[in-house]
Amino acid sequence: MTINKKRIAMLTSGGDAPGLNAVIRAAVKSGESLGYEMLGIEDGFEGLIGTPRYRVLTDVDVKELLNRGGTILRTTNRGHFNGPRVVGQPDDPYLQAYNNIMGMGLTGLITIGGEGTQTIALELANMGAPVIGVPKTIDNDLAGTDRTFGFDTALQVATDALDRLHTTAASHNRVMVLEVMGRHVGWIALHCGIGGGADVILIPEIPFDINKIAEHVTARDKAGNQFTMIVAAEGAFPRGGKPIYGDNGRLGGVGQMVAEQIQALTGKESRCVVLGHLQRGGTPTPYDRILSTRFGAAAVRALHEGITGEMVALSAQDITTVPMIEAVSHLKTIRPHSDLVRTAKGVGTIFGD
């Protein structure tokens, strides 16, 4: 097949996050302005298995995407790419994807996703495919960038929920536990807890002692504060324990466990609300729309300048690129003695440590 046009393709992979469509829009508009034909790979990396599934995207196709949640290209988790590559295995998905990328005559492939996505992209880049990553995760745990798009919107949803729960907790003198996303890191819980005035914040980076939380609830009661707000990341766990999984094998349940144990230890009515996928859906905040637009445009610029095997990233106020290996070699976790943690403790919030 002879390809006469300059082409850039993009895909969205992993869990959905507010801002995906805004990245697609920015990439298409930027690419067209530089003379590229822009392609959208459907269903993440699965769209590069077998006969590639893609469609041409033009300015007309993306004109109403800036404030639209989800992804018009759809997304999947690792699928056929679950686990490290085994060279020489029959129907090697990495080799199929590589051959399709090269066969489509692409100047480059933009991979929009989190740690799993960029790990796959790094392997393809090491094979020689021209790839540039865009960091996406509501957890904000991807290293190499100050912020990922989707985090600000998830934080807004979580903080709004905490604000609403405050009023019902105060009305009934209850302990309210809000469980938010954060498998391995507690960025949403920490920011939501500070921004929403939580009395207790539980994060994976600081294992908690349930007795200390109960003592804090009792002390608040005696001081006349007869309700308590707790924000827990889904990956938080007790000291000496490990993260909690539900009957379906999925991470989660720490909020309900904390609520039940606090009620047993203090006698106070305690309730848990699990925010779940509400944090992933809906309209992105203005901040996420802007960041997504900057990332999408920067990814096209990078490919146009011949940069591959890297990920666009926010560094202070500027968009730059970093080697993909920096993004996937470790998670961006919260330091237990960081300024944010010290700030929370300074205003009376405890972490159960």
Residue 238 per-residue DSSP state: B
Tell me which amino acid residue 305 is: E
Taking phi over 0 as left and psi of -120 to 50 as alpha, with beta for the rest, 86 belongs to: beta
**Spatial contact of 349 and 199, defined as CB atoms under 8 Å apart:** yes
Set 139, 141, 152, 288: catalytic member = 139
User: Are 44 and 260 in contact, with CB atoms under 8 Å apart?
Assistant: no
Catalytic residue flag (residue 139): yes
Task: State how far the Cα of 262 lies from the Cα of 202, in Å rounded to an integer.
Answer: 14
Cα pseudo-dihedral 54, 59, 64, 69, rounded to 10 = 40
Bridge partners for 203 per DSSP:
206
Query: How are strands ordered across the β-sheet holding 270-274?
Result: 200-202, 228-233, 175-180, 270-274
Among candidate residues 153, 160, 149, 154, the one with its CA nearest the CA of residue 182 = 154
Contacts of residue 48, Cβ cutoff 8 Å, sequence gap at least 6: 11, 41, 96, 97, 100, 101
Considering only CA atoms, which of 263, 208, 11, 200 is closest in space to residue 121? 11
Q: Which amino acid, residue 79? A: G
Q: Which residues are catalytic?
A: 139
